[in-house]
């Protein structure tokens, strides 16, 4: 008899335990639905130039812009992916995006970049470049956006404010830039000139791991600020 009562008690306790577990699980799920995971954004990271088109070249070290653009793009890709952002790259190696048969290779590669942006259904485009100017004293990192693209301007301002916080050489304001990559989409798109390869000091700086990391970190913070994450 005692054994039967004990068994009943165990059964009652088991049911109470099960109900409690279900209750806790329901509570956890309810909390999760309130704090739903952040939506997944797709951003296109565009490393400028590539292949025969090396872009600007550093006078002291002969480093090619196309190579540096790729290093920054890969670093930014890793940071954004680690944060759960879906990243599509226009290029992940040193090859050009143009068709070898194309008469106008520049036009062919820009069309290819546009195609990748459209195919990815990108929520945002970040193009990476290094600046160059005949006046060797010109320096600083600067962000450009397409004329009339309000969301692009807002993104450019977000990234600029993060660059200003983290980098000594950041230019104070974002600027309108007439670039194909910015004009080919209505989505927020920016072109980041990370610094001047024509400036001997910045040529060295642009190749340092620390600078690359700080620059990409600032760009990512600007992206997150734009999305209010």
Interface contacts to Zn ion, rule CB under 5 A: 48, 55, 129
In the bound state with Zn ion, the residue whose beta carbon lies nearer, of 55 and 195, is: 55
In the bound state with Zn ion, the residue whose beta carbon lies nearer, of 143 and 221, is: 143
Q: What is the distance between the alpha carbons of residues 114 and 111, in angstroms, rounded to a whole number?
A: 5
Q: Report which of 164, 157, 170, 197 is spatially closest to residue 66, judged by C-alpha positions.
A: 197
- Least separation in angstroms between residue 70's CB and Zn ion is 12
Six token digits for residue 199: 């400036």
- Least separation in angstroms between residue 40's CB and Zn ion is 30
Six token digits for residue 117: 């942006």
Q: Which residue's entry shows tokens 């550093």?
A: 58
- Least separation in angstroms between residue 53's CB and Zn ion is 9
Q: What is the distance between the alpha carbons of residues 203 and 132, in angstroms, rounded to a whole number?
A: 10
Six token digits for residue 168: 């000594």
In the bound state with Zn ion, the residue whose beta carbon lies nearer, of 64 and 129, is: 129
In the bound state with Zn ion, the residue whose beta carbon lies nearer, of 7 and 106, is: 106
- Least separation in angstroms between residue 55's CB and Zn ion is 4
- Least separation in angstroms between residue 177's CB and Zn ion is 11
In the bound state with Zn ion, the residue whose beta carbon lies nearer, of 46 and 157, is: 46
Backbone phi, then psi, for 160, in 5-degree steps? -60, -40
- Least separation in angstroms between residue 161's CB and Zn ion is 23
Q: What is the distance between the alpha carbons of residues 95 and 50, in angstroms, rounded to a whole number?
A: 5
In the bound state with Zn ion, the residue whose beta carbon lies nearer, of 72 and 226, is: 72
Q: What is the distance between the alpha carbons of residues 96 and 2, in angstroms, rounded to a whole number?
A: 83
List b or e across 187-209, with b for residues whose CB sees 16 or more CB atoms inside 10 angstroms: bbbbbbbbbbbbbbebbebbbee
């Amino acid at each position: 008899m005692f054994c039967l009562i004990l068994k009943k008690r165990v059964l009652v306790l088991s049911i109470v335990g099960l109900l409690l577990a279900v209750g806790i699980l329901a509570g956890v799920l309810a909390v999760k639905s309130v704090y739903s995971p952040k939506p997944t954004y797709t951003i296109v990271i565009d490393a400028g130039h590539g292949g025969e088109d090396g872009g600007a070249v550093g006078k002291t070290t002969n480093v090619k812009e196309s190579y540096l653009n790729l290093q920054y793009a890969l670093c930014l890709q890793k940071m954004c992916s680690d944060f759960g952002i879906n990243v599509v790259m226009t290029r992940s190696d040193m090859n050009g995006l143009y068709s070898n048969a194309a008469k106008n290779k520049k036009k062919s590669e820009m069309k290819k970049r546009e195609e990748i942006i459209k195919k990815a259904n990108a929520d945002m485009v970040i193009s990476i470049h290094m600046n160059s100017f005949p006046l060797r004293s010109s320096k600083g990192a600067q962000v450009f956006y397409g004329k009339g693209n309000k969301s692009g301007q807002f993104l450019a301002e977000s990234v600029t404010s993060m660059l200003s916080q983290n980098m000594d050489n950041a230019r104070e304001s974002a600027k309108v830039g007439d670039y194909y990559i910015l004009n080919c989409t209505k989505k927020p798109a920016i072109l980041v000139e990370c610094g001047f390869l024509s400036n001997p000091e910045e040529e060295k700086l642009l190749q340092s791991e620390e600078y690359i990391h700080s620059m990409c970190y600032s760009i990512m913070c600007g992206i997150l600020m734009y999305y209010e994450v």
